[in-house]
């Protein structure tokens, strides 16, 4: 899946991704982000990810910067 980071707070380790195709908002947690050395996730970045349904929410997992 592809999307854009709507907001990400690195101090709290929490954010929201908006799915490019559906416009759905997906919950993002820091432990589901796969960053390469030197990469930092910021608001507005394009990302690829998988979706999991947890606690009646859609979570973005395996998140990588495009």
Q: What is the pLDDT of residues 27-57, one digit of tens each?
A: 999 999 999 999 999 999 999 999 999 878 8
User: What rounded mean pLDDT belongs to the chain?
Assistant: 95
pLDDT of residue 64: 97
DSSP letter assigned to residue 48: E
Provide the whole-model pTM: 0.90
Domain 2-65 is classified in which CATH homologous superfamily? Nucleic acid-binding proteins (2.40.50.140)
């Amino acid at each position: 899946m592809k999307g854009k980071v709507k907001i990400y707070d690195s101090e709290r380790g929490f954010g929201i991704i908006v799915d490019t195709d559906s416009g759905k908002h997906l919950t993002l947690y820091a432990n589901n982000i796969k960053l390469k050395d030197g990469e930092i996730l910021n608001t507005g970045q394009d990302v690829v990810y998988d979706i999991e349904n947890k606690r009646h929410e859609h979570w973005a997992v395996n998140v990588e910067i495009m």
